[in-house]
Amino acid sequence: MTVLVLLDHTDAGEPRATAPELVALACSLGEAEGVWVGAAPLPAQLPSGLARVHRVAVANDWAPEGEHVAPVVSEAVAAVVDATGASVVLLASTFENKDVAARLGALHGAGVVTDADSVAVEHGTVVAGKTVLAGTWTTRVEVVAPLAVVLVKAGAADAAEPAAAPEVVEHAVAPSYVGGLVEVVERTERAGTGRPDLASAQTVIVGGRGTEGDFGPLEELADELGAAIGATRVATDEGWIAREAQVGQTGVTVSPRLYIGAGVSGAVHHRGGMQAAGTIVAVNNDPDAPIFEIADYGIVGDLFEVLPQATAELRRLRG
């Protein structure tokens, strides 16, 4: 069974953190082949285990800034599916890739599963595991179409090691008519934060309104724990931290081993994006805050007292 992995990369051609995870997962299902869309140069190394990588050039004097739009990427993936006879496509579960998957579903008959945290082949069919209803239920979903497109959450598999780039197969596609209608007026790629990627981090520390804009104590604890920093919508609306840090129903979904919420009330919209975390720690000075209903370890207290003390004690305990 041929399993295609869309190798998400920065505009400059650096693979995203999810790419080696998806390759490892693909290798566990069948023969893994990569799809690389656009003019960005292939890196010298790609995740190990790929039998081939299909580089799809977008033809027709296409403006490079439009190469990443969903209609173009979905045409590219569809072309490689046709060329290889692949029956499974794995994509990182991002909003952009959901648009790609939706087009593969609507135009190419694929069955699509979003936000999967596991993927297996059972009796010849693809079965994905996913949590639903804000992390309160777990389900197993079977794809009953000849082409399975599965959007996999960050952190669902251990990353494959880097290796020399495998055999490269070149393809060219002309953008579909609809793809050609999208004009990218402006695009600014954001630089990384220097911390682990929020969606896949093992430890996530989230600040809410209670921080009053001072994320200092969270940053210091994050340094100590190697954590990613997230935020509630209130904190991003206030401009205290970038939008992409928003955790919740309409932001990033995280399922780390450890979630620490500081000055976060635990509104249902926020819970939707973090309730699947392994251990939930909450620091809030209101004993009635709803986040205590789901916390494994709740502290009624002032985050500006509790977090610095925890950081100092961790340093002491660990020398």
Partner 1 sequence: MSIVRGGGTKVGQPARCRVTFPAVRIVVAVKHVPDIQADRTLGQDGRLARDGGDGTLNEVDENAVEAALVVAESAGGAEVIALTMGPDDAVDAARRALQMGADSAVHVLDEAAAGSDALGTAHVLAAAVRKIAEDGPVDLVVTGMAATDGLTSLVPAALAAELGIVALTLAVDVTVADGAVVVRRELDHADETLRAALPALVSVSDRANEARYPNFAAIMAARKKPVAVWSLADLGVPPDEVGSAGARTRILAAEPRPARKDRVLVTDTGDAGAQLAAYLVEHKLA
Ligand X SMILES: Cc1cc2nc3c(=O)[nH]c(=O)nc-3n(C[C@H](O)[C@H](O)[C@H](O)COP(=O)(O)OP(=O)(O)OC[C@H]3O[C@@H](n4cnc5c(N)ncnc54)[C@H](O)[C@@H]3O)c2cc1C
Angle between helix 303-317 and helix 216-225 axes, rounded to 10 deg: 20
For the chain, the straight-line distance linking the first and the last C-alpha, in angstroms and rounded, comes to 50
Going by DSSP bridges, is the β-strand pair 2-6/88-92 parallel, antiparallel, or unpaired? parallel
How many binding residues for ligand X (CB under 6 A)? 28
Tell me, residue by residue from 211 to 230, as one string, x for binding to ligand X by CB under 6 A and - for no binding.
Answer: --------------------
Distance in angstroms (rounded) separating the CA atoms of residues 122 and 99: 27
Q: Which is nearer to partner 1, 164 or 185 (CB)?
A: 185
Interface pattern 284-313 for ligand X (x via CB under 6 A): xxx--x------------xxx---------
Choose between 151 and 264: whose C-beta lies nearer to ligand X. 264
Residue 209 burial class via C-beta count within 10 angstroms: exposed 0-12, middle 13-18, buried 19 and up: middle
Structure tokens at 97: 């890739």
Closest among 1, 2, 12, 7 to 34, alpha carbons compared = 7
Which of partner 1, ligand X, none does residue 318 bind (CB under 5 to 8 Å by kind)? Answer: partner 1
Shortest CB 269 distance to ligand X, Å: 3
Output the smallest distance, CB 253 to ligand X, in A.
9
Residue 94's binding partner among ligand X, partner 1, none (Cβ under 5 to 8 angstroms by kind) is: partner 1
Q: Interacting stretch for ligand X, rule CB under 6 A, among 132-140, 176-184, 191-199, 206-214?
A: 206-214
Cα separation, 258 vs 237, in Å, equals 25
Q: Is 265 in the site for ligand X (CB under 6 A)?
A: yes
Query: Whose Cβ is closer to partner 1: residue 61's or residue 177's?
Result: 177
Binding to ligand X in span 43-72, by CB under 6 A: none
How is residue 46 written in tokens? 């790609």
In whole angstroms, what is the distance from residue 35 CA to residue 53 CA? 6
**Residue 82's binding partner, choosing from ligand X, partner 1, none, with beta-carbon cut-off 5 to 8 A by kind?**
none
Contact assessment for residue 156 and residue 14, using Cβ atoms and an 8 Å cutoff: no
Cβ atoms of 47 and 159 closer than 8 Å: yes
Q: Which one among 18, 200, 203, 232 touches ligand X, defined by CB under 6 A?
A: 232
Encode burial over 234-248: b for 16+ CB neighbours within 10 A, e otherwise: bbbeeebbeeebbbb
DSSP track, 160-181: PPEEE--EEEEEEEPPPTTGGG
45 or 136: CB nearest ligand X: 136
Q: Give me the least distance between CB of 301 and ligand X, in Å please.
A: 7
Neighbours of 199 (CB within 10 A): 24
Binding to ligand X by residue 208, rule CB under 6 A? yes
**Interacting partner of 270 out of partner 1, ligand X, none (Cβ under 5 to 8 A depending on kind):** ligand X
Residues that bind ligand X (CB under 6 A): 208-210, 232-235, 246-251, 263-265, 267, 269-270, 273, 283-286, 289, 302-304
